[in-house]
């Protein structure tokens, strides 16, 4: 049976920046980034096999690869998940 993902409530701080309570993507730490499927590529068969599928519209941006920082886009995107990887294994989720 597939896992149900509930989206967190989005709040804004005093400067108007969006703040999400908690880190809902902590379960990704320790997983290989190549083993995680985007929502559009997911099927019911993959879900039944227990493959991790990201929620709709979400995507990865690798901010640090093997200790080397990558250039991040300046604009804010609430669907972007910024991760740090070491040898394609996710070690941190921002």
Q: What confidence score (pLDDT) does residue 27 get?
A: 85
| pTM (2 d.p.) | 0.69
* pLDDT score at 16: 67
User: β-pairing, 80-86 with 89-93?
Assistant: antiparallel
What's the pLDDT at 94? 78
Burial label for 3, CB within 10 Å (0-12, 13-18, 19+), is exposed
Sign (positive/negative) of CA torsion 42, 78, 10, 21?
positive
Can you give the pLDDT of all 94 residues of the chain as single tens digits? 455 556 656 667 777 666 655 567 888 889 999 999 998 988 889 888 988 888 888 898 898 899 888 887 778 788 888 889 999 999 988 7
């Amino acid at each position: 049976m597939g896992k149900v993902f509930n989206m967190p409530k989005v709040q804004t701080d005093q400067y108007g920046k969006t703040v999400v309570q908690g880190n809902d993507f902590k379960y990704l730490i320790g997983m290989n980034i190549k083993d995680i499927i985007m929502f559009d590529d997911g099927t019911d068969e993959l879900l039944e096999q227990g493959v991790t599928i990201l929620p709709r519209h979400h995507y990865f941006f690798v901010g640090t690869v093997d200790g080397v920082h990558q250039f991040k886009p300046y604009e804010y995107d609430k669907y972007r998940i910024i991760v740090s990887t070491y040898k394609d294994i996710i070690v941190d989720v921002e």
